[in-house]
Structure 1
Amino acid sequence: MRLSDAQWAVLAPLIPPPITRTTRGRPRRSDREVLEGILWVLRTGAQWAALPKGEYPPKTTCHDRFQEWVDRQAFLNILTALAELSEENALLDLREAFIDGTFSAAKKGARMFGPTKKGKGTKIMIMVDASGMPLAVHTCSARPAEVTLVQDTLDASFGMLFPERLIGDKAYDSDGLDAELATLGIEMIAPNRRNRRKTQDGRPLRRYRRRWKAERTIAWLQSFRRVRTRDEVKADNFLGMVQLACIIILLRAISG
């Protein structure tokens, strides 16, 4: 996967400088060509060893740089900077946000996964703004209910202010969650489950019709095969892949 010059112009200043080396060795491959190799793995879902020779740096170079950036939380820092840039360019709308979760099947050996009716996997929680731009992403075992993961998702936001309204499906219909978010100044909007007393109706609930924007963003995420099916053993590495996918989504909006 190749980055356009406009996209790289936005990303280049955000890439962390290399850790100082104390020994001599081969010249360090450029961040751009290594990142494009990582993006090829993210997009195709292929193993690192399958990186096309001659088109991208060697697998060890790409994987080691990816691991270095994950360990330094580089992707989260980039997302924070891109979110700030999006806000400055009036690309974000925080009057309302949407929250939803999706499932990524975990291959044998992955850590932090949980068995569900769909099989073993990892849950990806995402919050997007009114236009569908990612505001937060959180990964965890697939076992916990989504209603219990809202606070963790908010805590994983890209340094943005909390939205005025948070909209979700029936899975988020909870008096406890409503009260918890109210203390943060957030109105939770979700249709009531059948066995619940009616607490949502009228004008606020009509906002739920725009929930497709969260589903569209999830579809964008799942277009990256390394996100749709989890290959990473380490939980932090899988989160890094999801964050990198969010970076591309934001970058496309910023760079046009």
Structure 2
Amino acid sequence: MMRLTDQQWTVLAPLLPRPVKRTRRGRTRQPDREVLEGILWILRTGAQWDALPKGEYPSKTTCHDRFQEWNEQNVFPTVLSALYELGEEEHLLDLREAFIDGTFSPAKKGARTSGQPKKGKGTKVMIMVDASGVPLAVHTSSASPAEVTLVHDTLEASFGMDFPKRLIGDKAYDSDGLDVELETLGIEMIAPNRRNRKKTQDGRPLRRYRRRWKVERTIAWLQSFRRVRTRDEVKAQNFLGMVQLACIVILLRLVTSPPVP
């Protein structure tokens, strides 16, 4: 089961929108906490909505409709921004450098904008994390474009407004054009050169590349949510909502975890 602690709910509750009033004949609205826990069960298990355990969570229709409602109202980006600010206030974020990478989620159903790469039909998930591996931005797109062309969109999808001083990626991000574009934003791009490229990076900045395992670890965290690891949503916006919800869980655990002595 996927349950929220009282502390986590105390943080989340004020960030969710107040329900729209219905007529007297309308049914009583199920509590947001119970519905959210049902949605999180779907996110974690990757099961179909029909498989929601009866008696443990609200009905599949209630949970699915609430997910759609929140997603259409852009509630998840709003919550992520609030958690980002909370992380900054508690000095939990390290923006001296950030890491970027992409992963592939195969699509089971007829995803409309999934693309048809060599790996098969699916969606590319781009993620940027801080120096500690905390998610800072997430972006989804067709799996066809190269990752180097999705960096700007990923930065624009940042949960906060601060850009890192250094952005570190693998050889896929070795591009003169990208270097110039990021330089105008005050960001230094650090990536090892491809074999067919003239050497443009010296040894000192590339030492930071050794810590790239932190973004790979965060991708593993995301993929522990089976609804993210494999795309079941037909609509691209619904899949993005699931990815954002997974990031909410990761950030929520960070801001509600006890401080390390």
TM-score category, normalised to shorter length: over 0.9
Matches within 5 A, 1:8-23: 8-22=9-23
| d(CA) in 2 for partners of 1:19, 1:154 | 33
Match of 2:68 in 1: 67
| d(CA) in 2 for partners of 1:19, 1:155 | 31
Amino acid aligned to 1:2: R
Amino acid aligned to 2:157: A
Match of 1:216 in 2: 217
| d(CA) in 2 for partners of 1:222, 1:138 | 15
Identity of matched residues, %: 80
| d(CA) in 2 for partners of 1:72, 1:22 | 21
Match of 1:125 in 2: 126
Contact 2:109 2:231 in 1 (8 A): no
Q: Is 2:95 the partner of 1:94?
A: yes
Amino acid aligned to 1:140: S
Give the secondary-structure state (helix, strand or coil) at the position aligned to 2:167: strand
| d(CA) in 2 for partners of 1:24, 1:67 | 23
1:75 Cα deviation from its structure 2 partner: 0.3
Equivalent residue pairs, number: 256
Matches within 5 A, 1:171-250: 171-250=172-251
Amino acid aligned to 1:237: N
Amino acid aligned to 1:207: R
| d(CA) in 1 for partners of 2:252, 2:150 | 27
Contact 2:115 2:121 in 1 (8 A): yes
| d(CA) in 1 for partners of 2:241, 2:175 | 31
Give the unaligned 5+ runs of structure 1.
none
Match of 2:151 in 1: 150
Match of 1:29 in 2: 30
Deviations 1:82-123 (CA, angstroms, capped at 9, x unpaired): 000000000000000000000000113112101112111000
Contact 1:135 1:160 in 2 (8 A): no
TM-score (norm 1): 0.99
1:164 Cα deviation from its structure 2 partner: 0.2
1:23 Cα deviation from its structure 2 partner: 5.4
| d(CA) in 2 for partners of 1:69, 1:6 | 22
Matches within 5 A, 1:97-116: 97-116=98-117
Deviates more, 1:162-171 or 1:10-19: 10-19
1:39 Cα deviation from its structure 2 partner: 0.2
1:159 Cα deviation from its structure 2 partner: 2.2
| d(CA) in 2 for partners of 1:101, 1:154 | 13
Contact 1:83 1:160 in 2 (8 A): no
TM-score (norm 2): 0.97
Deviations 1:189-209 (CA, angstroms, capped at 9, x unpaired): 000000000001221110000
Amino acid aligned to 1:104: S
